[in-house]
Every structure is written in C-alpha cells, then in structure tokens.
Amino acid sequence: MRSCNEGKDGTIITMEIGTKRTITHRCVIKKGSERARRAAAERNPVRVVALCVDDFGFFNNQLVRDFLDLDIPLTISVIPGLKHSTKICLAAAEEGKDILCHLPMEAEKEAWDSGEIPLIRTGMKAAEIEKAVAKALETTPGAVGINNHMGSKATADRAVMKTVLGLCRERGIFFFDSMTTSHSVVRDVAKEMGTSTASNDLFVDGGDGETRENMKKLLSIAARKGSAIGSIHVRPQTLEDLRWMIDEARKEGVEFITITQMIKRHNLAMAEGGGH
C-alpha cells in the first residue's frame, strides 16, 4: 500500500496500491451502502432540460455569437449547405456546444430546398437519400446527430426513416425527432434498428402560447418526469426569453444538459431497470 487518506468529512477513504515505483490501483471506499445512496438520490432527483436551437446557417452575426456565448449546455442545430453552415459548426464546437445537422425533409404542406442540400423526399430512392445525407454531414462538421427541418411527411414514412436511421447507426450518431407530426415512425423504426434517438417534448417558441409560458411548461415537465427536451429557434426575442428561463431554471433546481447527455442518461436509466 502506497498511501491511505481519509476525506475531511470522514465518509471517504482513498487507498493507493502498487509497487515502489508505480501506483497500479486506486481504491475509493465510501461510507454508507449503495442502497442508501440510491435512496438519497431518489429523494432528491436531478431534474434536467435539454434545448435544441434550430435554424442556424442562414446568417452569422451577433445574434449567433450571443447564443453560442450562453454559459449553459446547448444543442445547436445547423441547416446544411448554407453559406454559414460550416463556420457556425466550427464556432459552436469551440464553445463546447453539441451540433446537429438540421436536415431538410419533406413536409405535408410545404416542400422546398434549403441551400445546396436537396430536401429528403418520400419519392427518393435509398441511394439518393444516402447521397444527400452524406453531403449534408460534410457541410456540418462535428455533428453528433441529425434532426429534421420540417419533415412531417418524411418522418412518417417507414422507408425514408429506415434509410436515414440506418445511416445514423453506421456513422455512430443519433437522430433527434423534432416531432413535426404525431404520425412520426422514428421511435418505432429506431427501436427495430437499434439506433439512438430522442424526441422533442415541446416547441417552445413560434408555436402555441407565449414563449415564456411554454418555457415554464417545459420546466414543469422536467419537474414531473425528471427530464424534458424542447426546441427553440435562433431569434432575438427567443434569446432574451432564454436568458429569463436560465434564471428560472436555477431557482427551481433544474439543470441544463445537451441532447447527447440526455440520451446517455436515458440509456443508463434503462440499463438500471427503468426510469426516464
């Protein structure tokens, strides 16, 4: 034994074991049973919110920098193939933000292409989808996942989503379903294919209700379920409202995490036998 130290509060003992020259093992002994620690965690559960900020790429101005400068974990969703897409991805990575490729996908009512990346349409062959997705990811370097821009028709199509989710699985990235339709098949197809996914709980701005009321609602979902994911957009008023939400979350003891962290949290809970 090379050393044995007791923590200041007397609940932790750290031992270092090894040869005269090298430490080979470090053992940490904590006072109290694992059951007691789990019970304490259940009494004071960590409540978390993940926010996805959509529609980056059209401009690269002070508003973009202000979002990236926010001192909370955020997931930044960048539309591929636009003038500023790659630059914003690189800037977001420097600020430690998660990056998603905000893939344009066919909607029920509207269908238009954004930039040089063709819309993912239900009439496309698998090879066409694969080519478009590969090109989209090239213009969004560092993307840890894909989420749909529009896509109410495409995300309800099993053939399209089987191809898209298959590409995600091959590349080791996840798909975040923006939930632009209640008919989405993303969760079911992902489960069949073993692809990591997450789903949007609430469109916070630009949808039904006032933005701050929706932010309160999202925090309430997190308080009730333990976690929640919301989608917002890169807009001046949303930035102001988000700063307000950050203060409200701190008052309520809700922490911000990225969608990557949310998926890992969910997977760990499932491995331990359930939970959110």
> What average pLDDT does range 82-99 have in this prediction?
98
- 65 and 182: one domain? yes
Per the domain annotation, does 41 fall within a domain? Answer: no
Contacts of 111 (CB under 8 A, 6+ apart): 119, 121, 150, 153
Residues of the domain holding 229: 47-271
Sheet holding 3-6, edge to edge: 3-6, 12-18, 23-30
- Which element (helix H / strand E) includes 265? helix 259-271
Per-residue pLDDT at 140 exceeds 50:
yes
Give how many domains the chain has, as a whole number: 2
Mean pLDDT of the chain: 89
- End-to-end CA separation in angstroms for the chain: 41
272 confidence band (pLDDT: 50, 70, 90): confident
Q: Provide the pairing of β-strand 145-150 with 98-105.
A: parallel
**Which residue reads 């923590």 in tokens?**
7
pLDDT tens digits along 214-260? 999 999 999 999 999 999 999 999 999 999 999 999 999 999 999 99
- 103 and 143: one domain? yes
- 177 and 221: one domain? yes
Better-predicted residue by pLDDT, 42 or 238? 238
Residues 11 and 30 sit within 8 Å (Cβ to Cβ): yes
Contacts of 270 (CB under 8 A, 6+ apart): none
- 209 and 182: one domain? yes
- What is the C-alpha to C-alpha distance for residues 34 and 15, in angstroms, rounded to an integer? 19
- 251 and 165: one domain? yes
Per the domain annotation, does 40 fall within a domain? Answer: no
31 confidence band (pLDDT: 50, 70, 90): low
Phi-psi region of 226 (alpha: psi -120 to 50; beta: other; left: phi over 0): left
- Per mean pLDDT, which range of 17-26, 70-79, 100-109 is the poorest? 17-26
What pLDDT sits at residue 268? Answer: 86
Assign residue 138 the CATH number of its domain.
3.20.20.370
- Per mean pLDDT, which range of 15-19, 135-139, 228-232 is the poorest? 15-19
Helix axes 62-69, 236-252, angle to 10 degrees: 10
Per the domain annotation, does 57 fall within a domain? Answer: yes
pLDDT tens digits along 181-206? 999 999 999 999 999 999 999 999 97
